[in-house]
Amino acid sequence: MRKITKITAQQKNKERFNIFLDEEYAFAVYEGTLIKFQLVKGKELDELDIEEILYSDQINKAYLSAIHYLSYRMRTEKEIERYLKEKEMEGYVIKEIIIKLKEQSYLNDAEFAIAYVRTQVQTTLKGRDVIKQELLEKGVDKNTIEDALVEYSYETELEHAIKLVHKNHSKYKKDAFKIMIQKVEQALKRKGYSFSIIKDAVSEADLEKDTSEEWDAIVKQAEKYHRKYASLEGYEYKMKMKGALYRKGFSMDLIDRWLEGEE
């Protein structure tokens, strides 16, 4: 048996107390652990007592860390697990903390997923696929995610997609119409929209081909390729120009119109 001979508060953390056994520093505990085990000067402890005290204090430390982490926003079980691992908490301690937090309703992945989907729908223009991927990265299982995505209706997602179509149309309107559409579709794909939503959004947006802008675009591209193929003549020159401009998305009618102007 060893006797507690002194208890002092730590200078940097007043909630932590240093315990001295037989005049020597032995360990530190939180105030809650101090009270729970009635640690006072003169109390005797055996090895089993010390192990129980240290285990309880580690649980207390991990719990307070998790609560602090949760104070900023809702978290998933996986996020709490990762955070406590970074704090070098033992696996069995982490499991016990997660159980305790779930019992106290501080952790609920289903509620988290629903809240996350609602926030993304209200504050961003992300498609379902991106939101789904973000939740997977946070450790939410697929079935829970699918249930939460019910909050993101087809009508709302289509509305968001149409907004992005118009936004990206303005960005790429100097390209050939065909290329512009491809770039718009690629932009929506990166934002997490499915092919069917993208198709419907482009159709609903009813983009009109601006012939004056497309003509300006082909003139700009044609001048660049003309410099490249200026050394060629006749049929070979025309074929090279047609191929290059066609690959840039311009129609053959527009290409022929430009070539006729060169003659």
How far, in Å, are 82, 110, 117, 136, 150 from residue 144 at the CA level?
20, 6, 12, 10, 10
pLDDT band of 248, cuts 50, 70, 90: confident
CATH architecture of 109-151: Orthogonal Bundle (1.10)
The domain locations on the chain are 2-103, 109-151, 154-205, 211-262
What confidence tens digit (pLDDT) does each residue in 101-123 have? 999 999 999 999 999 999 999 99
**Under CATH, to which class is 2-103 assigned?**
mainly alpha
The pLDDT > 70 percentage for the chain reads 97
Tell me the two tokens of residue 263. 């003659």
Cα angle value 251/257/259 (rounded, 5°):
105
Phi-psi region of 206 (alpha: psi -120 to 50; beta: other; left: phi over 0): left
CATH number of 154-205: 1.10.10.10
C-alpha dihedral sign at 253, 258, 259, 263: positive
Q: Which residues contact 85 (CB under 8 A, 6 or more apart)?
A: 94
Report the predicted TM-score, pTM, of the whole model to 2 decimal places: 0.71
Has residue 219 got a pLDDT over 70?
yes
What pLDDT, in 10s, does the model give residues 9-60?
999 888 899 999 999 999 999 998 999 999 999 999 999 999 999 999 999 9
CA–CA distance, 130 with 117 (Å, rounded to integer) = 11
Say if residue 261's pLDDT is above 70. Answer: no
Fold (topology level) of 211-262: Arc Repressor Mutant, subunit A (1.10.10)
The answer to whether 109-151 and 211-262 have equal CATH topology is: yes
Q: Which residues contact 210 (CB under 8 A, 6 or more apart)?
A: 173, 177
